[in-house]
């Protein structure tokens, strides 16, 4: 009879063994309790794999000496990488992911979970209840859990509702959906849950407390809550196409009042409602202004209806400014068309004209607002970490792409430019959230970049020509720095210094310029190893870059202006080398 009810499941689906995977780093205070909670199970785990990349607080000794524990003491690329390594190495039928500061609720957790896996419906994932405890182990509150597995697909759009240490997965799930995303630092579990639900994994809820999750000030998620929300928003928008208003509001509450639904307590419950509403609207605008988001906000799900209503209340437009057109479609019939990557976009001609008129007006004003006739264009090479950015405080500074990963660079920046479609798509929300810096983009990135008070859209056709009239065109050919040089010229700077121009890329010889590289490892080509990690980018060609720099050099020199190279080291010798402090007129060591 059971075979007829569950024909796709059989005795082969039964599970008997559990592998526990624990990522650990500098957790000597909590690790013994974590290990003991697994070791004390009445149904003992077949293995407990602890991945520690090199703790110096005694954690390594604790794990190496613990009964039943296999210590993997080797470098890794972060928590998600450690968990993924453990999942690949695990031999158990079921994988348990237990962070080193968490613990199981009691000794019968594994026995209960395995019994549920072995019921006739043979689920892929079993999850249960849990509690939050503080650094001393005292209960702070029950964890919120969505106890209705059938609603996970819809509700994961605006909440997690799943406690990671109280969740157990069949090893076959990893084979079907892959490992945790190593590009994520806070939301790798949330992303994993969404992927598993979207892939059709069968989830079941066990109405029992399974785990104790540590939540305290030094905890990564709590201690960096703002960064955590930014990543959560990116994951949610990436999977659903838009950001639900409830995620935006929780993030806004944290930014404005220092708490959210998890951190809120009687001592901080007063919220400045108007400020939260403004911040919520700003976050929604940053994530939901692109073509993909607006196209995703036309469904009839509760999440879509809720978010659309919130956006309308906040005065945010849901109207599309562009559409995908056939690759041969010419401009005309109310559209201005441009091919970006593999897609051709048709932008509303009225929007295009309005944006160019506004940019012309603003750029004309900015020409007369220069701090001086000297500017600095910043490349994002590793040498930037050896550059005294304090020297740039009294100078207008042009930055690009993911410059916000270096806060001290963003602090001195005057202009931000992006011309690459992959960079714009993957970093759109971060760029849209930036305020207090003039952002200049080709108009054809308007399909993902939001129009706001700090953003200027300009004509930008990819000619290998240096444009001296920035109101007509600013070419984007081969490198954003060429775009920068034309913008600096058009704004009237007579002296321009380059820093961070290492002029060297480490990339596989199999790639040619323009090929898409899917970066899984740390990035060696930029000032931050996470710059392109977990992202896609277009392979570079420094010879073509240098050809564009030569065009810029000739144009500047023909007009009696100068571009000089103040990079620390590097391989760009086309421009004369100068000392940055001397060039910007600031004595070394000041600023």
If asked whether residues 305 and 453 sit together in one domain, one would say no
Other C-beta atoms closer than 10 Å to the C-beta of 588 total: 11
Query: So what's the pLDDT on residue 271?
Result: 59
Residues 210 and 256 occupy one common structural domain: no
Residue 342 within a domain: no
Do 184 and 218 lie in one domain? The reply is yes
Q: Is the pLDDT of residue 269 over 70?
A: no
Q: What is the DSSP string of 91-140?
A: -SSEEEE--TT-EESSTTHHHHHHHHHTSTT--SEEEEEEEEE-TTS-EE
What gap in Å lies between CA 170 and CA 320, rounded to an integer? 43
Between 246 and 220, residue with greater pLDDT = 246
Residue of higher predicted confidence among 4 and 337: 337
Q: pLDDT-derived band of residue 195, with 50, 70 and 90 as boundaries?
A: very high
Q: What is the pLDDT of residues 17-75, one digit of tens each?
A: 999 999 999 999 999 999 999 999 999 999 999 999 999 999 999 999 999 999 999 99
For 107-133, write each residue's pLDDT tens digit.
999 999 999 999 999 999 999 999 999
pLDDT value at position 260?
Answer: 60
Structural domain for 162, as ranges: 2-223
Lowest mean pLDDT among 272-281, 345-354, 490-499: 272-281
- Give the phi and the psi of residue 348 in degrees, each rounded to 5: -55, 130
CB 83 within 8 A of CB 55: no
Concatenate the DSSP letters of all residues of 390-445 into one string: GGGTTSEEEEETTGGGSHHHHHH-SEEE---HHHHHHHHHHHHH--SSEEEEEGGG
| Rg, C-alpha atoms of the chain | 27
Q: Which of 289, 313, 337 is the last residue of a domain?
A: 313
Is the same domain home to 234 and 199? no
Q: Looking at residue 219, what is its pLDDT? A: 52
The Cβ of residue 138 has, within 10 Å, a number of other Cβ atoms equal to 8
pTM of the predicted model, to two decimals? Answer: 0.90
Last residue of a domain, one of 176, 193, 223: 223
**Which residues partner with 363 through β-bridges?**
none
Q: Do 188 and 268 fall into the same domain? A: no
Q: Evaluate whether residue 529 is within a structural domain.
A: yes
Residue-wise over 340-359: b if at least 16 C-beta within 10 A, else e? beeebbbbbeebbeebbeeb
Q: Is residue 120 part of a domain?
A: yes
Decide: 253 and 226 in contact? Cβ < 8 Å: no
d(CA 144, CA 160) in angstroms, rounded, equals 9
- pLDDT, residue 1, reads 36
Domain final position from 223, 245, 275: 223
Cα(139)–Cα(144) distance, integer angstroms: 14
Domain count, the chain: 3
Q: Judge if 167 and 307 occupy the same domain.
A: no
Does a structural domain hold residue 113?
yes
- pLDDT tens across 359-387, in order? 999 999 999 999 999 999 999 999 999 99
The reply to whether 200 and 299 lie within a common domain is no
What pLDDT is stored for residue 313 in this prediction? 96
Contacts 24+ apart (CB under 8 A), 410-414: 410/434, 410/437, 413/378, 413/437, 414/371, 414/375, 414/438
Residues 371 and 262 reside in one and the same domain: no
427 lies in the same domain as 505: yes
500 domain residue, yes or no: yes
* Per-residue pLDDT at 77: 87
List of E strands, 267-414? 322-325, 335-340, 343-348, 374-378, 396-400
Answer yes or no: are the C-beta atoms of 244 and 260 closer than 8 Å.
Answer: no
DSSP 164: G
* Cβ-Cβ contacts under 8 Å for 184 (sequence gap 6 or more): 80, 191, 231, 235, 534
């Amino acid at each position: 009879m059971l075979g007829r009810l569950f024909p796709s499941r059989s005795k082969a689906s039964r599970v008997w063994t559990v592998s526990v995977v624990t990522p650990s780093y500098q957790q000597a205070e909590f690790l013994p309790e974590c290990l003991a909670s697994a070791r004390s199970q009445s149904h003992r785990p077949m293995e407990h794999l602890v991945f520690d990349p090199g703790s110096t607080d005694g954690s390594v000794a604790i794990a190496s000496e613990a009964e039943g524990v296999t210590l993997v003491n080797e470098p890794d690329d972060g928590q998600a990488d450690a968990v993924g390594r453990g999942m690949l190495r695990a031999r158990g039928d079921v994988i348990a992911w237990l962070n080193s500061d968490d613990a199981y609720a009691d000794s019968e957790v594994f026995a209960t979970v395995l019994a549920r896996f072995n019921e006739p419906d043979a689920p892929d994932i079993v999850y249960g209840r849990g509690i939050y405890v503080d650094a001393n182990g005292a209960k702070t509150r029950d964890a919120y859990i969505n106890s209705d597995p059938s609603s996970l697909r819809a509700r994961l759009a605006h909440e997690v509702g799943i406690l990671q240490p109280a969740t157990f997965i069949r090893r076959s799930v990893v084979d079907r959906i892959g490992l945790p995303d190593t590009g994520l630092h806070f939301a790798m579990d949330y992303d994993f849950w969404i992927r598993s639900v979207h892939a059709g994994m069968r989830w079941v809820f066990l109405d029992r407390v399974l785990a104790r999750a540590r939540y305290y000030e030094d905890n990564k998620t709590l201690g960096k809550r703002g960064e955590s929300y930014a990543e959560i928003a990116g994951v949610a928008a990436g999977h659903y196409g838009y950001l639900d208003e409830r995620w935006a509001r929780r993030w806004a509450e944290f930014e404005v009042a220092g708490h959210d639904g998890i951190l809120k307590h009687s001592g901080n419950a007063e919220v400045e409602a108007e400020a939260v509403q403004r911040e919520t609207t700003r976050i929604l605008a940053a994530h939901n202004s692109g073509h993909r988001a607006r196209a995703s906000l036309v469904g009839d799900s509760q999440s879509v209806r809720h978010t659309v209503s919130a956006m309308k209340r906040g005065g945010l437009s849901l109207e599309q400014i562009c559409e995908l057109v056939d690759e041969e479609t010419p401009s005309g019939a109310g559209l201005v068309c441009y091919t970006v990557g593999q897609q051709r976009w048709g932008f509303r001609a009225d929007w295009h004209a309005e944006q160019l008129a506004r940019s012309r007006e603003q750029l004309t004003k900015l020409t007369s607002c220069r701090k001086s006739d000297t500017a600095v264009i910043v490349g994002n090479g590793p040498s930037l970490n050896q550059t005294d950015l304090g020297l740039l405080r009294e100078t207008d500074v042009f930055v690009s792409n993911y410059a916000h990963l270096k806060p001290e660079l963003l602090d001195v920046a005057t202009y931000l430019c992006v011309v690459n479609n992959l960079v714009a798509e993957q970093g759109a929300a971060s760029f849209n959230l930036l305020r207090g810096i003039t952002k200049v983009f080709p108009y054809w990135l308007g399909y993902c970049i939001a129009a706001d008070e700090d953003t200027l859209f300009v004509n930008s056709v990819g000619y290998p020509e240096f444009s001296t009239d920035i109101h007509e065109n600013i070419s984007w050919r081969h490198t954003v720095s060429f775009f920068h040089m034309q913008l600096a010229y058009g704004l009237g700077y007579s002296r321009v210094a380059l820093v961070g121009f290492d002029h060297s890329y480490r990339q596989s010889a199999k790639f040619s310029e323009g090929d898409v590289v899917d970066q899984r490892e740390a990035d060696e080509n930029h000032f931050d190893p996470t710059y392109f990690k977990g992202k896609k980018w277009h392979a570079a060609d420094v010879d073509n870059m240098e050809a564009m720099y030569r065009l810029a050099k000739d144009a500047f020199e023909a007009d009696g202006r100068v571009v000089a190279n103040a990079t620390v080291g590097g391989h760009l010798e086309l421009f004369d080398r100068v000392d940055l402090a001397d060039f910007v007129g600031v004595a070394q060591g000041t600023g």
